[in-house]
Structures are given as C-alpha cells and as structure tokens.
Amino acid sequence: MPSWIQQAARRGILTSEYPGRPAREPDEVPLTARAPAFPGPGPIGSAAFAACPVEAISPAGVDPGRCIRCARCTTAGFRFAGPVEAAFRPRAGAPPAPLAGLGRSLHVFLVDAGSCNACNLEVLALANPLYDASRLGIFFTNSPRHADVLVVVGVPTEPMVAPLTAAYEAMPAPKAVVGVGVCPISGGVFRGNTGLRSSLDGIVPVDLYVPGCPPAPIQILDALLTIGGRARREG
C-alpha cells in the first residue's frame, strides 16, 4: 500500500468528496470563489464603476476575466453570487468541453509566468491530502515531455514568453493549456505595466481559463476535470 494512503488512514484526514458531491462551503468555497453580480432591479449605479480598481464592471455586468475579487463593489450593492464552476474557454460562446484524445489520467506541468505566488500555491494545494488530486488520476510532473496539461499562473512576463512556448512545444499531443487566475487572462492588477503581455492568448493556445484572484483549488480541480471530461458543473 502506498505510504500516503497509510498516512491518511493513520491521521484520519478527511479528503474532499468533490466532484462526487458539491464542494463544501465555506471551507472549499470561500465567499470570493464566486464572481460578483449586481442583483438589481435597475441599472448598475455609477458608484460601482468608480469602486472597481480594474475596470471589470460595465453596463453588461462584471467581466470575470478582470475581476480581482476585491469586494469594493459590495458597497454599491453587488453580491458574490456567480457559479463556483466558472472556467471558460477563451473563444466567446464556446462551452467548456473535454479535449478529445486525452485519457482519464492527466499529468500536469505547472509554469509560473509571473505570479504573485498566490495562484501558484492554490494549484499546488491540489496535491495536499484535502484535495488529493491523485485520487482522480491527476498528477504533477516536472517535465513538459511527460505532460498532458500545461497550467500557467501569473501574468506572462517577456522573459517567460520563450520558455512558455518551448514547454508547450515539448509536450506530446494531445495536449491542453489551462490559464489560472485573472493574470493570464487579462493581466490582472499588473495590466498595462511594461515588460508584460496582457494575456496568455497569442503565446500558447489556451483551452480553458479559470477566473479568480486567486481561484479556489476546487475551481482549478474543476477545470482539470473538465479537460478530462469528468467535471461536476453547477446547474
């Protein structure tokens, strides 16, 4: 019997039942794991536009690819009410879908392209006994040559563009790319600074984005399961 199973049995660690059951609140789904939304009725007030530090609010609602979950808009009536399983494909209108040809076991290569370390830690939390992604056939690998999924955290800095491209090209097909956090989606709080790309798009072909700053580990797990065609999705 592998030692980590023996350790879990000895310590009595309660592993998450996700995705067999919905994620537990609030320990697995903190308040800001959900995106903010304006409950209405009536139009979004100008106070909300002024409160948002990253211009994530428009008359159409909140852009999840920009929202850093700072909660300032709650003073203007917004409530954290969006779905937990909120990963989206970069092409507008395309629903999350499994990548054809990938098996039920995924090997993940993590690249930090310029993070503040928070998204990095949330991804690595999937290996701890609470989330235990290995029970679902998800493993981390130190080589892109052994990887099915490239997970990228952080805003892409110019010095990381070539290593990102090289890592993607070294991966055998079929392969997928998942961007975690708003940094690889839109630049997050670093948007507009010199020496940065505003998005992972255009560097490697992204299959799924996981919004949040940082997303909860359950949300990253949902994205990886989605890539493998095994996700639980709200609604």
By beta-carbon proximity to ligand SF4, the closer residue of 54 and 102 is 54
CA dihedral 98, 234, 221, 90 (to 10 degrees): 50
By beta-carbon proximity to ligand SF4, the closer residue of 52 and 164 is 52
* CB-closest chain residue to ligand SF4: 181
Q: Alpha-carbon torsion 128, 24, 84, 226, what sign?
A: positive
Please report how close the Cβ of residue 64 comes to ligand SF4 at its closest, in angstroms: 9
Please report how close the Cβ of residue 31 comes to ligand SF4 at its closest, in angstroms: 11
By beta-carbon proximity to ligand SF4, the closer residue of 73 and 216 is 73
By beta-carbon proximity to ligand SF4, the closer residue of 23 and 57 is 57
Interface ranges with ligand SF4 (CB under 6 A): 36, 51-52, 54, 56-57, 62, 67-73, 78, 115-116, 118-119, 153-154, 181-183, 188-189, 213-214
Please report how close the Cβ of residue 124 comes to ligand SF4 at its closest, in angstroms: 13
Q: What b/e sequence results for 26-47 when a residue is b if at least 16 CB atoms lie within 10 Å of its CB, and e otherwise? A: eebbeebbbbbebeeeeebeee
Extract the tokens encoding 73: 């808009």
Distances (CA, A) of 191 to 28, 54, 157, 198, 211: 29, 9, 11, 6, 15
Nearest to 89 by CA among 232, 226, 230, 228: 226
What region, left, alpha or beta, does residue 211 occupy, with left being phi > 0 and alpha being psi -120 to 50 degrees? beta
d(CA 137, CA 214): 24
By beta-carbon proximity to ligand SF4, the closer residue of 112 and 132 is 112
By beta-carbon proximity to ligand SF4, the closer residue of 102 and 125 is 125
Dihedral pair phi/psi, residue 215, rounded to 5°: -70, 155
Please report how close the Cβ of residue 213 comes to ligand SF4 at its closest, in angstroms: 3
Please report how close the Cβ of residue 135 comes to ligand SF4 at its closest, in angstroms: 25
Please report how close the Cβ of residue 195 comes to ligand SF4 at its closest, in angstroms: 15
Residue pair 223/208 in contact (Cβ under 8 Å)? The answer is yes
